Structure 1
Amino acid sequence: MNSIKTRNQVLGYMFILPALVLLLLFLFIPSIMSFYYSFTDYNMLTPQAKVFIGLKNYISLFSDEVFIKSLKNVLLFVVFIVPIQVGIALGLALIVNKKRPWNTFFKVSFFAPVVVSLVVTSVLWLYIVNPEQGLLNGLLSVFHIKPQPFLTSSHQAMFVIIALSAWQGAGYQMLIFLAGLQNIPSDVYEAAELDGANRWQKFINITLPMLKPTSIMILTTTFISAFKLITQPMVMTQGGPMNATMTPVYYIYRTGFTDRSLGYASAMSVLYGLAIIIFTIVQRKLTGTGEVENG
């Protein structure tokens, strides 16, 4: 029996070994190297001239106007995208959860933007919101609304990216919400109808409470993904205009791979990673994740 148990354990470790190797190569080792480089002036143009400079990179971050602006931008993005995208996803899930004609067509249509490359989607939206010949300004002109600058305006550019991101990502959360809705027993709704509950009362008192574990999972994943915003500003605005769409991840990329200043970029990565961990913990506490897990 001991030999069989040992063999099963070895077999189990062999199954997880490839995943552990990948985590080691692409997560743990790079994280350790990034932490080390953050205390140096490492530049890719002079890789042999790394000098230990202590906390100088971290101190410089607090006076870096572009980095501070990028933090404000991503916080604005998170504040808007999380409720908008989750709300749209829940609404779409409620629509396709009902048995009606063309339901499969609606499911495919709502999910289609998710399977399209985000780069392709961003390029498509560049044509839609083009200030001069864009489709959206063409539609606005029908209602006698003057053309909008959209991505060329420092006040509108981030909101265009928010709209694109909500449209592109809501289909994925919709499927998760749909699975949660279909796991709610129908007899609960039937009992509520017998008690005289209307649709709104059933939604508030049955649907939302029974979707709480699913909602918390979606909120957490959307929250973390929002902080990693990079593709849309990189493709659509290159961080402009006037750094209005610059995000920390994009700024880290530009600093590390365009300016070749890996030491400074590593310091940003470490500090920003810690900030995301703290925000995630706070978000989980506020949404009561611990209560769900303990229950």
Structure 2
Amino acid sequence: MKIENIVTKRRRGYFQIGSREYNIRESLTGIGFMIPVTILALVFVIVPIFVSIFFGFTNANMGRLNNIQFIGLKNFIDVFSDSYIWPALKNTLYFVGAVVPLQFGLALSLALLVNKIKVMNGLLRWAFFAPVMLSLAVTSFLWLNLLNPQEGLINAILGFFGLGPSLFLQDTKLAMPLIIIISAWQGAGYQMLILLSGLKNIPKDLYEAASIDRAGKVQQFFHVTLPSLKPTIVFVLITMIIGAFRIMVQPMIMTNGGPLNATLTMSLYIYRTGVTYKNVGYSSAIALLYTFVIATVSLTLRKVLGGDNEA
């Protein structure tokens, strides 16, 4: 087949590829919008990925990047004998296992509440979404001050009722649960909006048919609402799990991984190894293995839960 038959100009200002016709000006405009995004993706995503893969097989150190040596799989082998890896992984799994159901349950409850209440609906949406608009750093510093043993508002309230000051974030048993609760509070508003949009798209006819069949509110929730929300729920859960695995800012600011590494997470350990200790090669190896773990968990959940529209 000749090229002229594949790409030919049909009329002035248009060109054709196959059987489809495109406006030249609109196509150039679209390409123009894509160029900045493509450049940003290359500079901040694609290139760093390949650099990280390269560093993972070297002894790269930020203090001596002019003397990088290829060491094969040594970094990856050392990961399995690292005494900090397993506590960090355990803390991360604890965080993921606790924050995901807590945050999802809170988000779904808020979405159902906002979907039901018609009075001041916009104000409720804004109020529940407000914590999301704050950066993780700001939220962490806010709660760090509220939980301060000497000058924190929460300890002041406890003192008013005659209760002694609590160390909160210095307690190995309380530090991680507090970070979990704070993280769920801060992020639930975002998932609430996604779930709320899913609730708005459920046809009213389904609820009317269920009412005719004498289904109560609880039965309607389990047999109409949840099945109809399945694709949205799958999306929300997977994105929440990926985000939870990347937990770093809150423990870094609020506890710096302490006390006694009780809040040390994988992302924080990777950051500390690469930035604080400047061991870029080893931190890259950990990051690559950790990325593989997250990808495996996410794909497995996607396969198990499914995301189709079937009830």
Q: 1:203 to 1:141 in 2, by over 3 A?
A: farther
The equivalences for 1:61-210 within 5 A come to 61-140=79-158, 147-210=165-228
Aligned length: 293
**Which of 239, 247, 253 pairs up with 2:271?**
253
1:5 matched residue in structure 2? 16
Could you tell me how far 1:42 is from its partner in structure 2?
0.9
Give 1:48's aligned amino acid. N
Distance 1:266 1:51 in 2: 14
Instruction: Give the letter for the 2:50 counterpart.
Output: I
- Residue matched to 2:71: 53
Q: Normalization by structure 2: what TM-score?
A: 0.88
CA contact (8 A) 2:228 2:309 kept: no
Greater RCO, CA 8 A, separation 6+: 1
Mark the structure with the bigger radius of gyration: 2
What residue identity is the alignment partner of 2:290? Y
Counterpart residue type for residue 98 of structure 2: F
Matched, 1:221 2:239: yes
Q: How far apart in 1 are the matches of 2:168 and 2:274?
A: 29
Decide which of 252, 265, 273 is 2:291's aligned counterpart.
Answer: 273
Aligned AA (2:126): V
Please, what TM-score do these two structures have when normalized by structure 1? Answer: 0.92
> Letter of the aligned partner of 1:93 in structure 2?
A
Q: Is 1:35 aligned to 2:53, yes or no?
A: yes
Opposite residue 88 of structure 1, the aligned amino acid is L
Range moving further from structure 2, 130-139 or 218-227: 130-139
**2:12 matched residue in structure 1:** none
Unaligned stretches of 5+ residues in structure 1 = none
| C-alpha distance in 1 between matches for 2:303 and 2:209 | 33
Give distance in 2, aligned partners of 1:44 and 1:99. Answer: 55
Question: How well do the aligned residues superpose, as a CA RMSD in angstroms?
Answer: 2.1
* Seq. identity, %: 47
**For residues 236 and 100 of structure 1, what CA distance do their matches in structure 2 show?**
38
Question: For residues 2-37 of structure 1, what are the alpha-carbon distances to aligned partners after superposition, in whole Å with 9 as ceiling and x for unaligned?
Answer: 231256586354443332222222111111111111
**What is the letter of the counterpart of residue 173 of structure 2?**
H
Alpha-carbon distance in 2 for matches of 1:65, 1:92: 41
Residues 77-127 of structure 1: CA deviation (Å, up to 9, x unaligned): 110111111110000011111243222221111010000121111111112
Cα distance between partner residues in 2 of 1:5 and 1:240: 62
SS at match of 2:62: coil
Please identify which structure carries the higher helix content: 1
Distance 1:146 1:196 in 2: 54
CA gap of 1:134–1:207, structure 2 versus 1, over 3 A, is same
Q: Structure 1 CA distance, aligned partners of 2:228 and 2:101?
A: 19
